[in-house]
Amino acid sequence: MRDAVRYVLQVAYRGAVADERHRILSPIALRREVREWFYSHYDYARHHINPVCRAAVSMLRSYRRNHHGELRIPEVRRLAMRVDGELFRVMDGRIRMTLQPNRYVWLPVNASNKHYQEYSRGRASELLITNSKVCLTFVVGEGKKPLGDKLIAQDLNFKSVDSTSAGIGSGPALESVMTESLKKMVQVQDDFSRRRRALQKHVENPQKRAKKLEETRGRQRNRIKDALHKLSTRTARENPGASFVFEDLKGIRRTSREAKKSKRLRTYLNRWPYRLYQSMVEYKSPNRTVYVSPRGTSSECPVCGGKLEHPAWAVSRCGTCGADYDRDRLASLAILCRGLRLCGLTPFAVSADASWEQMRDEYSYPRSTPEAAGAGGTDAASAPNLDVYTKIHV
Ligand SMILES: [Zn+2]
């Protein structure tokens, strides 16, 4: 593994140098680059490539972090190997590790470790093998958080967070929908990209420019992180009894078809660290957080199952319902429905539910509420973060 990491580090380094913004490839992108090499050099099960790529990426990243943004290939000294959870199993006091499909190595488990009884109830997550020992790691506390007494589904957008909540105590019923503006954060992002463009134009010394740009980027990251902390703390604190439902956004950068269409949109998708926000809410919330598949949340009508069209970006039109809906709000409803299903709370037919009748105006486009009239709102300067908040059905 050490040799493999050394080679993969070189590929990752070359990739980062070749990239105009010196970004380090993600482990998954890196795997695509080196898979042919790995498979032809190592006669192991293919999964073994994953920890190699992850190790290379994290080493490169931490090197850069510890050397003020300077990028070089760090030296790989340690003789160590990580094995993903898919490649081993703990069976009758032994670890079975897969070398190739149907070829295993068996290792004895030292069950007398004082934490073993407690930890081994969790899911075995990773095996770390060094020249002197084998460490077996477990995920503890997983799934221990209880489900809340209501679900709040959040659709994360460039400029807003849209939430639909539903009580689940006595059968699911929609409770409220709200749109929270992220104007402040968008503003920070825009300020910084303007600053970067100015630097690119006016600082001529390339080294000085790179340094300045990196500084700006760091400051921007901190500002955004800070804002996300505040937002997630408030969200979790205001809803102590709720479980949050999010879209599982792994791979959104690659799969989002919209992202390919427009460069502007792509920058937005990359800039707004959705997943950071999700994980912040997840650990701040006392209840379990639910992740649902994002596939089709904007193409299938959660009310009737019909096909959605988007005559304008902000509109979801359903021919079957014969209605125009607010795209982001409807998406949060779709996420909610998936969350309910995932929690085993079926069937919940939105169109047949009494709560939908009371709520449906809140989802229609354009919304009848005055603030919503011009989706961009010009009362920005003094407006509070909350655009609209409705609560019925209590
Ligand atoms: Zn419909």
Write the DSSP assignment of 204-247 as a string of letters: --HHHHHHHHHHHHHHHHHHHHHHHHHHHHHHHHH-TTEEEEEE
* Distance of CA 338 from the midpoint of ligand 1 (Å): 16
pLDDT tier for residue 272 given thresholds of 50, 70 and 90: low
pLDDT of 347 > 70? The answer is: no
- SS3 helix, strand, coil % of the chain, rounded to 5? 45, 20, 35
Which residue in 195, 189, 223, 221 sits closest to 209, CA to CA?
195
pLDDT in tens, 65-104: 888 888 888 888 888 888 888 889 888 788 999 988 889 9
pLDDT of residue 250: 64
Indicate whether 191 and 338 sit together in one domain: yes
Distance between Cα 256 and ligand 1 center (Å)? 23
Q: Would you say residue 89 lies in a domain? A: yes
Q: Are residues 12 and 25 in contact, defined by beta-carbon separation less than 8 angstroms?
A: yes
Task: Return the pLDDT at 232.
Answer: 95
Ligand 1 centre to CA of 133 (Å) is 59
Alpha-carbon distance of 182 to 170, in angstroms, equals 33
Centre of ligand 1 to C-alpha 319, Å, is 7
CA of 323 to the centre of ligand 1 (A): 7
The pLDDT, as a whole number, for residue 323 is 93
Instruction: Please determine, for residue 364, whether its predicted confidence score (pLDDT) is greater than 90.
Output: yes
CA–centroid distance for 106 within its chain: 36
Domain identity same for 51 and 128: no
C-alpha of residue 394 to centroid of ligand 1, in Å: 26
Note whether 334 and 292 are within 8 A (CB).
no
Q: What six digits make up the tokens of 140?
A: 């503890």
Same domain flag for 155 and 115: no
- Mean pLDDT check: name the lowest of 106-110, 341-345, 348-352, 371-375: 371-375
Residues 329 and 185 in one domain: yes
**Which of 130-139, 147-156, 163-172 holds the top average pLDDT?**
147-156
**Where does residue 51 rank: exposed (0-12), middle (13-18), buried (19+ CB within 10 A)?**
buried
Ligand 1 geometric centre to CA of 71 (Å): 52
**Measured in whole angstroms, how far is the alpha carbon of residue 45 from the centre of its chain?**
28
Last residue of a domain, one of 78, 95, 124: 78
Structural domain total, the chain: 3
β strands within 273-381, DSSP E: 290-292, 308-309, 315-318, 323-326
Give the single-character DSSP code of 193.
H
Residue 278 has pLDDT above 60, yes or no: yes
CA of 322 to the centre of ligand 1 (A): 7
Is residue 394 a part of any domain in this protein?
A: no
Q: What is the pTM of this model?
A: 0.59
Q: Give residue 172's pLDDT band: very low, low, confident or very high (50, 70, 90).
A: confident
8 Å CB contact between 45 and 98: yes
Q: 324 CA distance to ligand 1 centroid (A)?
A: 9
Identify the pLDDT of residue 193: 85
pLDDT at 368: 65
Burial grade of 116 (CB within 10 A; 0-12, 13-18, 19 or more): middle
Q: Is residue 295 part of a domain?
A: yes
Q: Give the residue from 21, 5, 9, 362 showing the smallest Cα distance to 210.
A: 21
Q: Per-residue pLDDT averaged across 262-283, rounded?
A: 71
Distance in Å, CA 325 to ligand 1 centroid = 9
385 band by pLDDT with thresholds 50, 70 and 90: very low
Do 236 and 368 reside in the same domain of the chain?
yes
| Same domain (yes/no): 154, 42 | no
pLDDT score of 267: 53
- Between the alpha carbon of residue 265 and those of residues 86, 122, 262, 302, 325, the distances in Å are 36, 41, 5, 25, 21
CB under 5 Å of ion ligand 1: residues:
301, 303-304, 306, 318, 320-321
On whether both 163 and 124 belong to a single domain, the answer is: no
Task: Give 131 Cα–ligand 1 centroid separation in angstroms.
Answer: 60
Name which residue leads in pLDDT, 124 or 140: 124
> How far is the centre of ligand 1, averaged over its atoms, from the C-alpha of 258 (Å)?
22
Highest mean pLDDT among 109-123, 182-196, 320-334, 341-355: 320-334
For residues 132 and 229, state if they share a domain.
no
pLDDT band for position 122 (50/70/90)? confident
Mean of the per-residue pLDDT values of the chain: 83
* Cα 304 to ligand 1 centroid, rounded to whole Å: 4
In this prediction, residue 390 carries a pLDDT of 36
The whole-angstrom separation of Cα 217 and Cα 215 is 5
Same domain (yes/no): 127, 161: no
- Whether 170 is covered by a domain: the verdict is yes
Q: How far is the CA of 306 from the centre of ligand 1 (A)?
A: 5
Residue 308 has pLDDT above 60, yes or no: yes
User: Has residue 23 been placed in a domain?
Assistant: yes
Q: How far is the CA of 308 from the centre of ligand 1 (A)?
A: 7
Give the Å distances, CA to CA, from 159 to 69, 109, 187, 262: 30, 51, 10, 16
How far is Cα 326 from Cα 245, in angstroms, rounded to an integer? Answer: 19
Domain finish residue from 31, 60, 78: 78
Say yes or no: 381 and 302 in one domain. yes
How many A from CA of 301 to the centre of ligand 1? 5
Residue 47 pLDDT level (bands cut at 50, 70, 90): confident
Confidence of residue 355 (pLDDT cuts 50, 70, 90): confident
Q: How far is the CA of 249 from the centre of ligand 1 (A)?
A: 25
Query: What's the CA gap between 350 and 92, in Å, rounded?
Result: 48
Distance 160 CA to ligand 1 centre (A): 23
Give me the domain span that covers residue 60. Answer: 2-78
CA atoms within 13 A on the CB side of 184: 15
Is 144 domain-assigned? no
In this prediction, residues 359-384 reach a mean pLDDT of: 58
Same domain, 118 and 165: no
Whole-number Å distance, alpha carbon 348 to ligand 1 midpoint, is 15
Rounded distance from Cα 294 to ligand 1 centre (Å): 18
Of 123, 82, 268, 96, the closest CA to residue 189 belongs to 268
Task: Taking residues 167-190, report their average pLDDT.
Answer: 88
Q: What is the pLDDT of residue 117?
A: 75
pLDDT above 90 (res 311): yes
Do 341 and 255 fall into the same domain?
A: yes
Spacing, Cα 351 to ligand 1 middle (Å): 8
Task: Specify if 31 maps to a domain.
Answer: yes
For residue 244, what are its two tokens?
């949050």
Provide, rounded to the nearest whole percent, the portion of the chain with pLDDT above 90.
36
Separation of 353 CA from ligand 1 center, angstroms? 14
Is residue 92 assigned to a domain? Answer: yes
